[in-house]
């Protein structure tokens, strides 16, 4: 399996140290939307999509004013998964499956760019996004899935993965890909585990926001911490999940690489490792590598 690390949205909030943990307070920070592209025998698989081409073209309609005012997204169409796949030599129709950590706008915005794909997520997340509650109306953007995706729903099955509940046997996908439910950021939030040639990658989504939250003692820039608390539906569950992820990262460091969706240093480190392991020798495709 070949695994590509893609940044499918960049945020530039004001208040550098408050969001990045370094620099001056009035500087612009940088956050990413770390997605994965998997080349599998079942076709191409995306883990999260970032923003889509329609989000870039009609941001107020598709994202709402909150994203523009608070996090200042760059809104670069070249960062969309659709365009990055084309740069890698693929067609959008090659994407057969999309796995979502959750349905927030910066994770599910690109669904409409791949209408043929089967979209896998936890059933609780789909129910929460379609609940018509005030919280759901503020949080989710139904326009992003108005095209009618081919949904595939799952519930935790009680199987174990390094002590975590997991969902194996995702329909149509190889056994090296599975869900690791981490409820708290949203009602149906899940991590995605992928087994590569050098161990497991665990895309933890928004279970945490900053690499410092996996350190002991843990720490998080103040601005990111406020965002985390404001969005979480179950903050004690978020904190418990972070402790478990911290333990996993420390105790199984040789077996599992844990990363979240928005930390730029984690993304750049994994992307650099990907480039270093590239074996195809084609300078036009620097991201093709077996991780």
**How high is the pLDDT of residue 279?**
55
pTM for the model stands at 0.93
**How high is the pLDDT of residue 15?**
79
What number does CATH give the domain 2-276?
3.60.15.10
- Of the candidates 68, 70, 65, 58, the one whose C-alpha atom is nearest the C-alpha of residue 109 is 58
- The span from the CA of 37 to the CA of 2, in Å, is 8
Q: Which two tokens stand for residue 69?
A: 């005012």
**What are 127-160's pLDDT values in tens digits?**
999 998 999 999 999 999 999 999 999 998 888 9
**How high is the pLDDT of residue 216?**
94
Q: Which residue has the higher pLDDT, 16 or 139?
A: 139
**What are 39-77's pLDDT values in tens digits?**
999 999 999 999 999 999 999 889 987 776 678 899 999
DSSP string, 170-191: -TTS-TTEEEEE-TTSSTT-EE
Domain regions of the chain by residue span: 2-276
**What are 264-276's pLDDT values in tens digits?**
999 999 999 888 8
- Of the candidates 151, 150, 200, 153, the one whose C-alpha atom is nearest the C-alpha of residue 175 is 200
Burial (0-12, 13-18, 19+ Cβ within 10 Å), 54: buried
Q: Which residue has the higher pLDDT, 17 or 272?
A: 272
């Amino acid at each position: 399996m070949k695994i590509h690390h893609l940044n499918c949205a960049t945020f530039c909030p004001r208040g550098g140290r408050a969001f990045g943990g370094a620099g001056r307070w009035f500087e612009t920070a940088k956050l990413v939307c770390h997605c994965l592209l998997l080349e599998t025998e079942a076709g191409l698989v995306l883990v999260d999509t970032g923003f889509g081409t329609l989000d870039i073209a009609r941001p107020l309609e598709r994202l709402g004013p909150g994203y523009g005012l608070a996090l200042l997204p760059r809104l670069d169409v070249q960062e969309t998964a659709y365009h990055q796949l084309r740069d890698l030599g693929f067609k959008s129709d090659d994407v057969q499956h999309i796995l979502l950590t959750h349905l927030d706008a910066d994770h599910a915005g690109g669904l409409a760019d791949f209408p043929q794909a089967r979209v896998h997520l936890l059933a609780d997340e789909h129910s929460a996004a379609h609940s018509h509650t005030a919280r759901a109306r503020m949080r989710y953007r139904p326009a992003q899935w108005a095209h009618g995706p081919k949904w595939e729903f799952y519930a935790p099955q009680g199987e174990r993965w390094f002590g975590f509940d997991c969902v194996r046997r995702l329909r149509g996908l190889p056994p090296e890909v599975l869900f690791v439910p981490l409820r708290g950021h949203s009602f149906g939030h899940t991590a995605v585990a992928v087994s590569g040639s050098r161990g497991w990658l665990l895309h933890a989504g928004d279970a945490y926001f900053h690499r410092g939250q996996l350190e002991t003692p843990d720490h998080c820039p103040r601005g990111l911490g406020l965002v985390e608390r404001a969005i979480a539906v179950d903050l004690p569950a978020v904190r418990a999940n972070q402790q478990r992820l911290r333990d996993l990262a420390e105790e199984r460091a040789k077996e599992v690489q844990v990363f979240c969706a928005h930390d730029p240093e984690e993304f750049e480190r994994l992307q650099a490792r990907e480039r270093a392991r590239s074996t195809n020798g084609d300078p036009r495709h620097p991201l093709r590598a077996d991780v």
